[in-house]
Amino acid sequence: MTNRRQFLGSAAVASAARPAANIVPLRTHEWFGDRVENFEFPKGWQIDVRHMKGWQTPVLKPEAVKAAIENPVGTPRLREIAAGKKTVAIAFDDLTRPTPTYDVVPHVVAELRAAGIRDENMLFVTAYGCHYQMNGMEVEKKLGTETVRRHPWINHNIWENLVDLGTTKANNRIWVNTYYHKADVRITLSGLKAHGTPGYGGGPKLILPGVSGIQTIRYMHQTIQQSRRPRQDSSGVPIFRVWENEQRQDMIEAARKVDVHFSVQMVYNQDRKLVHVVAGDVVRAHHRAARYAVNHLATEYAKDADVVVINAYPKGSQLHEHFGWGSRGLKEGGSVVVINQNPMGEFVWHYMDEAGFNKGGSFFAQRDARRRRYAQAGQVLLYSQYLQRRELDNLYFPPETVGLRAWSDVVERLKSKHKGDVKVALYPYVGIQHGPATVDIPDSEC
């Protein structure tokens, strides 16, 4: 008969021999708790988590953020700029940008108070260009509870309440938000993320398209064309065209016409925590931040993966931008898995894109005309417990996508297709990651 000690000993040996669960923790639910979820894969599968280069960079302490605001590049200190003034307008990006704006606002407000600006005379203006208007809950998430209780905020309107500031060299007539323009001091707050039009978002982009009118936005996107230039350097590394870029130069000229007095640029990590802040001139501060970001966010692509997993955090609200990661290292016939654990799902409205997609025609005809995105993929799976039919019918999304609301269903589909030694490449936060790259910003412009 086995005694208690022998039984416990044998149980311990059995437990030690049992292979550990193949679990990968991923951050999800940006703006809705920013929680960490565990995603289990079949035992024995090789999981290659592709982090960005700066993923272990120390988070900035509040004192370091404060020091960055108090020591600007290319402008006087903010309290000096605001001295003797009465009103301030502060443009900020929306929830499609993961920027932790609330970590910077208190330090900006402290500078303005030191200059004698009253709380009720600091107006926050949403700078979302052609996106939809924000509601109170969204603005509170972006700016913080204390800010929305103490200071007024308004939504930008691309159709009305605009002032004409003349034309740029590219003949773009600059219409901007009159409430923003009429303030005595004008400030922008933004984060940096790779963007196809200006190279990096943020900076002058908070003015155009941020607080500009629809005619100005359309002209910059549709009429102004970037000249043909090499998109890779001599080593084959992609170049983010931030300086030699006609569209971004139009943005810069618009920001100069508006006369932005002070700007704060933020670079953050995979947990949406600040790692680098540059304040000052809207162009020079952005350039310095971009030079930092291009190394911090760079991610080496995987090779020969049977399965590529894309976690859309922290930018699941624009999930369509991330599908391209599915081909980063995928084998012929492999599987693509997209994770978007964001309760809001894909944001559904963008004035520019909606006009371009439908052109007054049939939604159903446009949807059915979509073409497959992945020639080499055997299956494309979209996982979200919040999945709605609109994601699968989205005109941006690959028509071959299969939507699943349970992670266990995703795993079962993968197991049915992939046997033996399976290699998984996992990009844990593609909302901010990009591949290895360089920027074209000259030293004289930083």
Specify whether the CB–CB gap between 210 and 253 falls below 8 A: no
Residue 168: which of 134, 137, 212, 103 has the closest Cα?
A: 212
pTM for the predicted model, two decimal places: 0.93
Q: What is the set of domains in the chain, with CATH numbers?
A: 20-52+300-427 (3.90.226.30), 62-297 (3.40.50.11440)
The b/e string for 345-357 (b: 16+ C-beta within 10 A; e otherwise) is bbbeebbbeeeee
pLDDT band at 76 (very low <50, low <70, confident <90, very high): very high
User: Which stretches of 228-345 are DSSP H helices?
Assistant: 246-258, 284-296
Query: Over the stretch 415-440, which tens digit does the pLDDT of each residue have?
Result: 999 999 999 999 999 999 999 999 99
Look at residue 11 in the predicted model and tell me its pLDDT: 39
Q: What gap in Å lies between CA 186 and CA 207, rounded to an integer?
A: 11
Q: 414 — phi, psi (to 5°)?
A: -65, -45
Q: Residue 97 carries which side chain, given as an amino acid letter?
A: R
Query: Over the stretch 6-38, which tens digit does the pLDDT of each residue have?
Result: 434 433 433 344 446 799 999 999 999 999 999
Does the pLDDT at position 3 exceed 60?
no
Average pLDDT over residues 189-213: 97
**How many residues are given for the chain?**
446
Query: Over the stretch 379-395, which tens digit does the pLDDT of each residue have?
Result: 999 999 999 999 999 88
Query: Over the stretch 137-183, which tens digit does the pLDDT of each residue have?
Result: 999 999 999 999 999 999 999 999 999 999 999 999 999 999 999 99
Look at residue 20 in the predicted model and tell me its pLDDT: 60
